[in-house]
Structure 1
Amino acid sequence: MNRSPQSIAAYELLYIVGIIAISFSAIFVRWSDADVAVIAMYRLYLTNLIMLPLVFKYRAELFRLSARQWRLLAFSAIMLALHFLLWMASLRLTTVASSTVILTLEPVIVMLGSYLLFRTRTNRMMLWGVGITLIGSIVIGSGDFTLSREALLGDVLSLLGAAAVAFHVLIGKQVRKDMNAFTYNFWIFALAATALAFYNIARGNSFTGYSPKEWGIFLLLAIVPTLFGHYLFNWLLKHMSAAAVSMSVLGEPVIASLLAWVLLKEALTGYQLAAGALVLFGVWLFIRHGKE
């Protein structure tokens, strides 16, 4: 697919905006005292609420989906809900740096899945990009890894969350081939939120009684990392490879760790900061050489 330098630059700029936006997710979750399943549910339902004014414009496609599309949407939504549930839970058990750095395994899973399922080709420079970013990300989180039972459980939950979102991206790539971004995102968020609602009912979690501060955090999660993060990445799935979009998670440990340092007082060392620059270089390398 031939693209003009202007369009490539625009996609890369939007990609950077998305990385910055999703990096705030861990901070907002840490600020909240609500159950992680409640946080994730309201994050997605509020996103749908913000999207409602555009429903009329896209009504034709929204309600004319095939049975196959509904099945794929449902499975993708469940994977997204599972990702939020597992990853947010990990933030209650380990540091922001440790939790986000483990998510860097997502593009590796996506790249492997793309090859096994769709025979997607990967060039040498893309592999170099993945390798560089993984090394940098591991260095960022190395100072926070511990052998405590809680931290290890948090690491496992983050790893499982990475696998879930990798499946979400792979399925989304197929669904987005014949579906616009609004329709895909609207139903993905609605279905994932509903799956989380059933989970909350089963757990006996309250749907009401939250303070204005909590509702403010729910709304920030809906606007910043969801609309300017996940929605944007889902839109980019039609213009970039699934592996390239998933690489966005590799920039997250850098920015999230810096935010945690400033806002949560989680210390960073000099070599971790240097590793952050390495991660960003690897992300840039992968994007530059990534092909459909």
Structure 2
Amino acid sequence: MFDKHPRGVLLLGVLGVSVSAILVRYSQAPSVITAVYRLGWTVLLLLPMVLTRFRAELLRVKGRDVALCALSGLCLALHFLTWFESLKWTGVAVSTVLVSTEVIFTALGFALFLKGRIPPLGVWAILLAFGGSALLAVAGGGGGGQLYGNILALAAAIFVSLYTLIGKIQRGHLSTTIYTFLTYVFCFLALLVMAAGSGTPLVGYGGREWLIGLGLAVLCTLMGHSLFSWCLKYLSPAYVSAAKLCEPVFSGALAVPLFGEIPAPLQLLGAVLVLGAVLLYTKAEKDAE
């Protein structure tokens, strides 16, 4: 049923990840711990299904697929670490917008390495999206748009674009559940190594942080990233990344009543440009079908 409406599923995924920046802002634990809790909960929630309904497929997974999932998990871990940290230094709107420039890197990687084709109108949509994102970043935000936080957000965009491109390869022959489970397991392990390497204790932050991690796991990972991975079987990675550009609009709107981050007129204009770019890209891919 859902395979007939991949764009609707993609919208649900965007709504799910839009809560991520808000929950991370509420967290008072180190960034790596917030990420560890998020992925720990995610793996735990997926484990019963994997060991029952998908056990046979899991046992058939080849070594090459394990290696690619490990690489995908590492990229996702680095994405979470850099993005969560960026939210401590810059505003929600600015950080999420810069992370959403993933579409630029994903589209380029799709065309250069996966022999994908971006429709001419889609190129203009990407440029428009980049312009809207840049306008939002220049306009600043409640957190001040400090350079360090912006650089971290940009690095997070590069890492998540690599994760998206690997997902496009793997989703051609692996189910969403097995691909995401293996990726999340390796992501969790990578984050544990990062925490140990930095000497950051894994516990002692209170029950509130465990609940934030659970919320991130359910709303943002299972109902966000996992839905994106599912959509990669039916939609191009460039289109999936372009749709994610709606995230800063939704996150920025939530940040207004919660954190008092009132968007400036230039930010509102940037948000309109981003949404318009997504609609334009949608039209470009439909026309190309």
The interval holding the TM-score normalised by the smaller chain is over 0.9
Secondary structure, aligned partner of 1:178: coil
Residue type matched to 2:251 in 1? A
Residue type matched to 1:223 in 2? V
* 1:187 equivalenced with 2:179 (yes/no): no
Moved over 6 A (4+): none
Q: 2:206 aligns with which of 203, 211, 229?
A: 211
Quickly say closer, same or farther: Cα 1:63–1:7, change in 2 above 3 A. Answer: closer
1:1-292 aligned at under 5 Å gives the runs: 10-55=5-50, 56-144=52-140, 151-290=146-285
TM-score by length of structure 1 reads 0.92
Displacement, 1:136? 2.1
- Distance in 2, matches of 1:268 and 1:216, equals 29
- Distance in 1, matches of 2:255 and 2:32, equals 22
Gaps of 5+ in 1: none
- Distance in 1, matches of 2:120 and 2:150, equals 30
Secondary structure, aligned partner of 1:53: helix
- Distance in 1, matches of 2:152 and 2:243, equals 20
TM-score by length of structure 2 reads 0.93
Secondary structure, aligned partner of 1:13: helix
CA-to-aligned-CA distance 1:139-170 (integer Å, 9 cap, x gap): 23322179x8x811111111111111111111
- The question of whether the paired residues in 2 share the 8 Å contact of 1:22 and 1:226 is answered with yes
Residue type matched to 1:206 in 2? P
Taking only the aligned residue pairs, the percentage that are identical comes to 36
Quickly say closer, same or farther: Cα 1:135–1:23, change in 2 above 3 A. Answer: same
What's the RMSD between the two structures over aligned residues? 2.0
CA-to-aligned-CA distance 1:36-58 (integer Å, 9 cap, x gap): 11111110110111112312110
Structure 1, 247-256 or 160-169: larger mean CA deviation = 247-256
- Number of residues paired by the alignment? 285
Displacement, 1:128? 2.0
Structure 1, 48-57 or 36-45: larger mean CA deviation = 48-57
